[in-house]
Amino acid sequence: MRKVFIWTARIVAFIACLAALIWAVFLTMDMVSEHRIRAIAKRVPSAYVKVQSSTLVLDHVRVIDGTGAAPAEDQSIVIEAGKISYAGPRSKQPQIPEAKVLDLSGRTVLPGLVGMHEHLFMPAPSQSQQHLLVEQSTLFPLMYLAAGVTTIRTAGSIAPERDLAVKQKIDQGVAVGPEMFLTAPYLEGEPPTFPEMHGLANAQEARRAVDDWADRGMTSFKAYMNITSDELQEAVKAAHSHGLKITGHLCRVGFREAAELGIDNLEHGVLTDTEFYSKKQASICPDFRFFLSEYNTQLNISSPAVQNVISYLISHHVAITSTLAVMESEFGTSRPKEDLQRASQAMTWKAWRASRQRVEMVPHSRVDNLMRKEMDFERDFVKMGGTLLAGCDPTGDGSTLAGFGDQREVELLVGAGFTPVEAIRIATKNGADFLGIADRVGTVSAGKQADLIVVNGDPATNIPDIEKVEFVFQKGVGYDPVKLLDGIHGVVGLEN
Residue whose CB is less far from Zn ion, 248 or 478? 248
- Site residues for Zn ion, 186-245, by CB under 5 A, read none
Per CB under 5 A, does 395 bind Zn ion? yes
Stretch touching Zn ion by CB under 5 A, among 208-216, 252-260, 390-398, 453-461: 390-398
CA dihedral 128, 363, 304, 68 (to 10 degrees): 80
CB 320 within 8 A of CB 388: yes
How far apart CA 82 and CA 475 sit, in angstroms, is 4
- CB 68 within 8 Å of CB 388: no
Q: Does 451 bind Zn ion (CB under 5 A)?
A: no
Q: Please return the burial class of 359, using the count of CB atoms within 10 Å of its CB with bins 0-12, 13-18 and 19+.
A: middle
Element housing 199 (H / E): none
Residue closest to 119 by CA, chosen among 107, 106, 134, 104: 134
Minimum distance, C-beta of residue 358 to Zn ion, in the bound complex (Å): 15
Q: How many residues bind Zn ion (CB under 5 A)?
A: 3
From the list 94-102, 232-240, 278-286, 394-402, the region that binds Zn ion by CB under 5 A is 394-402
Instruction: Report yes or no: 387 and 430 within 8 Å, Cβ to Cβ.
Output: yes
Helix (H, G, I), strand (E, B) or coil at 49: strand
CA angle 389, 392, 393 (to 5 degrees): 110
Q: How far is the CB of 393 from Zn ion (least distance, A)?
A: 4
For Zn ion, which is the closer residue by CB, 155 or 270? 155
Cβ proximity to Zn ion: between 64 and 158 the closer is 158
- 427 near Zn ion, rule: CB under 5 A: no
Shortest reach from residue 389's CB to Zn ion, in Å = 13
Of the two residues 332 and 457, which places its CB atom closer to Zn ion in the complex?
332
- Measured from the CB atom, the residue of 394 and 442 that comes closer to Zn ion is 394
- Which listed range, 146-154, 285-293, 392-400, 415-423, lies at the site for Zn ion (CB under 5 A)? 392-400
Nearest-approach distance from CB 394 to Zn ion, in angstroms: 8
Question: Edge-to-edge, what's the strand order for the sheet holding 113-118?
Answer: 113-118, 149-154, 179-181
Q: Does 133 contact Zn ion by CB under 5 A? A: no
Binding-site member from 264, 273, 378, 393 for Zn ion (CB under 5 A): 393
- Give the nearer residue to Zn ion in terms of CB position, either 45 or 192: 192
Range in contact with Zn ion (rule: CB under 5 A) among 345-353, 358-366, 386-394, 458-466: 386-394
* Selected range binding Zn ion among 14-22, 148-156, 332-340, 448-456, rule: CB under 5 A: 148-156
- Alpha carbon distances (Å) from 158 to 133, 141, 287: 8, 16, 24
Q: In this chain, which stretch among 257-265, 302-310, 338-346, 387-395 interacts with Zn ion, using CB under 5 A?
A: 387-395
Contact criterion met (CB below 8 Å) for 139 and 351: no
- Residue placing its CB nearer to Zn ion in the complex, 272 or 449: 272
Residue 293 buriedness (CB in 10 A; 0-12 / 13-18 / 19+): middle
Gap between the Cα atoms of 119 and 38, Å rounded: 21
CB of 60 to Zn ion, least distance (A): 40
In sign, the C-alpha dihedral spanning 265, 266, 269, 273 is: negative
Q: Say whether the peptide bond before residue 71 is cis (omega within 30 degrees of 0).
A: no
Q: Which stretch binds Zn ion (CB under 5 A): 20-28, 147-155, 157-165, 305-313?
A: 147-155
**Residue 155 contacts Zn ion per CB under 5 A:** yes
Q: How far is the CB of 119 from Zn ion (least distance, A)?
A: 6
Supply the DSSP symbol for 55.
Answer: E
Complex with Zn ion: residue 64 or 225, whichever CB lies closer? 225
CB of 121 to Zn ion, least distance (A): 10
Which of the stretches 98-106, 336-344, 391-399, 478-486 binds Zn ion when contact is defined by CB under 5 A? 391-399
Closest separation in Å from C-beta 135 to Zn ion: 14
Residue number, nearest CB to Zn ion: 393
Residues 6+ apart with CB under 8 A from 110: 63, 64, 65, 66, 148, 424, 428, 444, 452, 453, 455, 459, 466
Considering the complex, state which of residue 123 and residue 459 has its C-beta at the smaller distance from Zn ion.
Answer: 123
421-458 burial code (b ≥16 CB/10 A, e <16): bbbbbbbbbbbbbbbebbeebbbbbeebbbbbbbbebb
Shortest Cβ 221–Zn ion spacing (Å):
13
User: Which residues make up the interface to Zn ion (CB under 5 A)?
Assistant: 155, 393, 395
